[in-house]
Every structure is written in structure tokens, then in C-alpha cells.
A and B are shown apart, each in its own frame.
Chain A
Amino acid sequence: NAGVTQTPKFRVLKTGQSMTLLCAQDMNHEYMYWYRQDPGMGLRLIHYSVGEGTTAKGEVPDGYNVSRLKKQNFLLGLESAAPSQTSVYFCASSYGGLYGYTFGSGTRLTVV
């Protein structure tokens, strides 16, 4: 039972490069989320999805895009990376409000 798997675990990008972070869950959860974690700022919601084929903006969506073509996968894209996007990114999934989230182990992204 893998839970929530994030790839890659680490990445260094140059300013202006693009990349995609992949999140996969094997728990048949409807809801999936992307957060970023920065020192002193806790977790901030970037985008989320309430089901296959649906996405919505969170608290800090600018500079990111997402897709949920399959229920088990939630992709986070950076079209043109900026140093301000240096962060640790966490994916989470859930059955819904009562159940809380299951988190992945995170992706540490550095943009130079």
C-alpha cells in the first residue's frame, strides 16, 4: 500500500525552465491537493481537485498549472520557473472533509 507517491523528490531548475511534478495515489481518493511549504509560512494551498477532470485554484495559484486526467494522478506544472518558487511541495489526497489528508513525502525544488 504505497499511499501518496511524489516524483521527483529533489530538483534544481534554472530560472525560466519548466517542469512537472507528479503525484499518484492508490487509495481511490476523490480529492487531491498541492501545497507549498516555506519557512515561517506553514502550508499554503496552490491548487486542488475534487474529482477526475476538475481543478480549482487555491491560495497561491499564480505561476502554476495543474491537471487531473486520471483519478489517481494530480500533476503540478511550472511553465517558467522563478526563484520565488523555491520551496518544498507536498501533495495530499482525501476521501473528503471528515477524513483528513494523506500526504506524500514532498518534493524539494530549488530554482536558481
Chain B
Amino acid sequence: AQSVAQPEDQVNVAEGNPLTVKCTYSVSGNPYLFWYVQYPNRGLQFLLKYITGDNLVKGSYGFEAEFNKSQTSFHLKKPSALVSDSALYFCAVNKAAGNKLTFGGGTRVLVKP
């Protein structure tokens, strides 16, 4: 079975400060890892993914994520947060050759001016 844990229900950060949203996963074999963002009353939007290769993945809106195989983590980061980054963020995992994503419980990010 595959699973994702997002240990923080909410992350508060001041605008301009670095933002980190944590994610750890469990999956048999090689993982495919994804981050999605959900703005109020909207569907989930794709941010970035890790399939293979460089452990640092760059995505939309200035976000990046670092894959750490030994720690089974895929933390989302942004060097300088914006108020508009306030949203709900989901980490998801799929095993290689699988076709079903398993999502974490989500982390609400609040960026204060």
C-alpha cells in the first residue's frame, strides 16, 4: 500500500519569508511524487512532480521541491512567499507503473502581509 503524510495542518509565514511544506511518503518501489495547490472554491492545480533524475524539481509560481530518498520526503519550498500563495497544498504519491494517486491530508498555508 502507498501512503502520504503531511504532518502540519497549517503553516503560517510572513510575506517575503521562506515557505516550506512538509511531505513524507511510503510506497513500494520507485515513487512518482506530485504537489498540487487548491485555491478557495477551485479544483486542484498541478505544481510540480518528481519522476526521476535531479532531486531538486522546479515547478510553477516559483515553487520547488526536493526529493530525499533516504528520508522518504518530498518537501515543497518557496524562497520568498507571497500573500497570493495562501492556499491548500496537497502532496501525492504513485508507484512507478501505477495509475492511482494517493493524497496527503493537505496543509493550509497562510501568508501574512
Contacts and interface: CB of A to CB of B under 8 A. Distances in A.
A binds B: yes
B60 to A, nearest CB: 12
A108 to B, nearest CB: 8
B101 A101 contact: yes
Given A42-B90, A42-B105, A98-B32, A103 B43 contact: yes
Interface string A25-54: 000000101010000111101001010000
A10 B36 CA distance: 23
A66 to B, nearest CB: 15
B96 A97 contact: yes
Range of interface residues on A (Cβ < 8 Å): 20 to 34
A76 to B, nearest CB: 15
Range of interface residues on B (Cβ < 8 Å): 20 to 34
B99 A50 contact: yes
A72 interface: no
A43 B43 contact: no
Interface of B: 9, 32, 34, 36, 41-46, 49, 51, 90, 92, 94-101, 103-106
Given A97-B95, A100-B92, A101-B46, 12 more contacts: A40-B9, A40-B105, A43-B103, A45-B100, A92-B44, A96-B99, A97-B32, A98-B32, A100-B101, A103-B36, A103-B43, A105-B43
